[in-house]
Chain A
């Protein structure tokens, strides 16, 4: 350790050492009887090539010095950090508040970062996923699915002008997996090159070849990892086994790896699309999702403009089928993350505000402490500590604070992540993968260190700038007493501003939640239970067979005890399935311009009674509306207004869903039902119509995939009807599973879950931010009171009333609060716009919310400053002055 005090020139060191060596040698040689000149020459000879060695030693010496400087620096850092930790330990009160504040800030931010990382930042387990594009049709300003014909033509064009190495399609559907326990499994029909686009190899076996992806090819299936584990226990012998899918034998040829599962709950098996020549030729039915892998060097824009040019020609050629369709090419990741992206980034923004509040708080604490320690630092400076050394020591102290804070934060983040994953709705993809991984831990440490600079540097520089002479003489930091403490006040103002922004955002979401809770869905949700039934096209070929099977199930169920109402529908409110159709009212020329798009439901008579939709005009559908009878339909009020504004729609006719010019198949509106928010309480009412199953167009069974929902209303607990529903189906076909059994209340709650999650999250962040800001205000006012004890004492001795002192102290404490409130209100006004898409029943710039939040913040700030202010009124004047 003698090195520290010894820093001579390296050249001198080397020369002196060698010179000494030579001299000693010469002395010894002379002592042995050699002549001095000879001895000198001999000594040099023995030492070898002096200039070379000298250069070599200088080089080695420089390296040695560098290593030692580094070691020394580390030793000092350890020393400073150790000192920092000891100082923290000596001030348990300060340390506890600071660490808790910091831990909450870092913990919350880290947890949310881990969620953002899992959902948005971490790439999917697909090689070069940024080259995988979602290729969609673009129709009437919206992304739309792709028809087989268009896909075939796009591929053709891609051969002429290669933009994609591969283009593959996927079409999701439910499959009945046979066995002892028939099960409904979400699967997909994909083209053989779908796997090439994703560039993921199977875990076991293989994926299908182009020769299997043709009509009449071998019936093969590739299993997803989850299904393989769940149904086959992860047995490798499943390869080449034959399983029953939709009643048909299929050979298992491969199993995909677990990572080939982009969201929990996606498809669990893949079968060849095997498009028929008829499918390949048709451009009218748009239902495929198409992915393409861009060739190296090709931009999405280039690929898009190529396909748009091609599509323009196709639109000309298949006028009726395509209309004016364009093509959109965008990264798969973008579509995949979707709405969750904006939501998470917003929450991340909110969390950063909380972190900044926490940092401002700790900075304030450090500032206050810095002022209190002015004397200690002055003494250190006077015994020779340089300014830089003092700053470094203070920084080391806040680093010690930051590292401990990070440790607490990481522990907290661990808890928060688990809570988050458990509480989050299933609609946020991949959130369940959020965890404390190296990226997240790195984030926490970077956060801790950068916040060290943020909140450690300002107080450190300030303390170091203090006039040390003055401090030593008076025992007080001079500037703290005389100069306005703008930094401290500014920090409080910032905290208040951020807290207000959070509070306004949270209040807006809470008001939205209340609004949605009170929102009348338009039907009776209580006592309803629904379930899905899907019949396979292989076993139930003709429309008659399908209809008969469904009607038999309904008959069985209606006769079961405890069932007040039973009905069938293609789609229950907030449920899957359903589709839209264009309706042309009587008197308008049929064409895309006159058609009004509305959601279609095929229902059994009595559906509106079962679901609790009120009949406004006309009559309900009855069993008399059978095949062959005049075609009847019900419309909701929204559709009635759109079709026949200002007129009574009952008895009027519309064109829809089927027919041709010579066979228009008019449908007569027989009744109007009330509007329902059937896509969820947070969605607008959309136009809807209802047609009797008995009069359904034959093609409709293919549109809906022979899948319907069974609806039952109970007098009491609706779930008690589940066995009756299963029994009703079992008696018709024991091989068909009943799935998605849900009460309407549960679906409703699920539909509101994302909003609830958002509200709870932002609400808790606002709460934390508010508490932290209050701690900050409390701290500053306390400090103020301590600083001005003598002055207050004098004032009171001179006759100032406790009330006046209270007003003075609170008034001074509130000054930065008011400034922060004004700034925060402006900020909230601007940032609430970001929430606009999630707000219902309240405007982002709602004055009541903004005003209420501002008043609330000022009120609690007043309370927070009252506590220390009251202490000021109890100051004993004499004692205060004496202690000075």
Chain B
């Protein structure tokens, strides 16, 4: 399903979603918008892969879903970070720092 021009690693998408939710619960569309707004043209999140990622992470217990009222006044499903999701995010960030640091050193050498 991922689009041809975006080759975003699964783990990276998860990390981005976790990061989004770290500011508070939001629904799927809001996550998509936030990703669009904050990431530049370099990284494009294919919308089609957003929801499967959300379902998988919910199953793993990193995020938790609940139904509430949206700003439109209709039923909307929103996601929130759980304790284990928060831990996961910390681990992802640390891993990313290590990786980018290492790659950077190699490329700039």
Contact = CB atoms under 8 A, between A and B. Distances in A.
Contacts of B27: 17, 20
Nearest to B53: A60
Nearest to A67: B59
B84 interface: no
B104 interface: no
B47 A48 contact: yes
B55 A60 contact: yes
Contact of B75 (A16, A67, A68): A16
A512 B61 CA distance: 68
Interface string B38-68: 0000000011100110011011000010110
B32 A20 contact: no
B72 interface: yes
A47 B70 contact: no
Contacts of A767: none
Contact of A53 (B51, B59, B72): B51
Interface string A49-64: 1001100110011011
B98 interface: no
A54 to B, nearest CB: 9
A2 interface: yes
A25 interface: yes
A23 interface: yes
B55 A64 contact: yes
Interface string B1-43: 1010000000000000000000000011100110000000000
Contact of A48 (B33, B48, B59): B48
Given A2-B66, A21-B32, A23-B72, A16 B77 contact: yes
A531 B75 CA distance: 97
Nearest to A65: B59
A353 to B, nearest CB: 49
B58 A53 contact: no
A396 B48 CA distance: 46
A50 to B, nearest CB: 9
Contacts of A46: 47
A40 B52 CA distance: 22
Interface string B80-94: 000000000000000
A25 B32 CA distance: 10
B29 A60 contact: no
Given A13-B77, A20-B27, A6 B52 contact: no
A17 B77 contact: yes
Given A16-B77, A20-B27, A25-B29, A47 B48 contact: yes
A21 B29 contact: yes
A48 B55 contact: no
B74 interface: yes
A810 B62 CA distance: 65
B31 to A, nearest CB: 10
A52 B49 CA distance: 11
Nearest to A25: B29
B87 to A, nearest CB: 18
A57 B51 CA distance: 7
Contacts of A53: 1, 48, 51-52
Contacts of B58: 64
Contacts of B72: 23-24, 27
A6 B65 CA distance: 11
A48 B77 contact: no
A64 B62 CA distance: 12
Interface residues of B, number: 25
B1 A52 contact: yes
Contact of B76 (A20, A27, A28, A49): A20
Interface string A1-39: 010001000000100111011011101100000000000
Contacts of B47: 21, 46-48
Give the dominant DSSP class at A's interface.
helix
A63 B51 CA distance: 15
B55 A61 contact: yes
B52 to A, nearest CB: 6
Interface string A408-440: 000000000000000000000000000000000
B101 to A, nearest CB: 34
Contacts of A6: 66-67
Nearest to B56: A60
Contact of A20 (B33, B64, B74): B74
Interface string A174-214: 00000000000000000000000000000000000000000
Nearest to A13: B77
A20 B70 contact: yes
A56 B52 contact: yes
A417 to B, nearest CB: 43
B32 to A, nearest CB: 7
A68 B65 CA distance: 12
B10 to A, nearest CB: 13
Nearest to A19: B74
B67 A48 contact: no
Contacts of B55: 57, 60-61, 64
B13 to A, nearest CB: 14
B93 to A, nearest CB: 25
A46 B49 CA distance: 11
Contacts of A18: 51
Contacts of A20: 27-29, 70, 74-77
Q: Which of A17, A47, A57, A64 has the most CB of B within 10 A?
A: A17
Contacts of B32: 21
A21 B47 CA distance: 10
Interface in A772-815: none
Contacts of B67: 6
Nearest to A64: B59
B29 A24 contact: yes
B28 to A, nearest CB: 6
A67 B57 CA distance: 12
Nearest to B33: A28
Contacts of A24: 29, 70, 72
Contacts of B46: 48
Contacts of A57: 51-52, 55
Contacts of B75: 16, 20
Given A13-B77, A53-B52, A21 B66 contact: no
A18 B3 CA distance: 19
Nearest to A27: B72
B28 A17 contact: yes
A68 B77 CA distance: 17
Contacts of A47: 47-48
Contacts of A23: 72
Contacts of B76: 17, 20
Contacts of A21: 28-29, 32, 47, 51
A202 B39 CA distance: 69
Closest A-B pairs by Cβ, 3 of them = A48-B48, A60-B55, A64-B59
9 contacts: A21-B47, A47-B47, A49-B48, A53-B52, A57-B55, A60-B55, A61-B55, A64-B55, A67-B59
Interface of B: 1, 3, 27-29, 32-33, 46-48, 51-52, 55-56, 58-59, 64, 66-67, 70, 72, 74-77
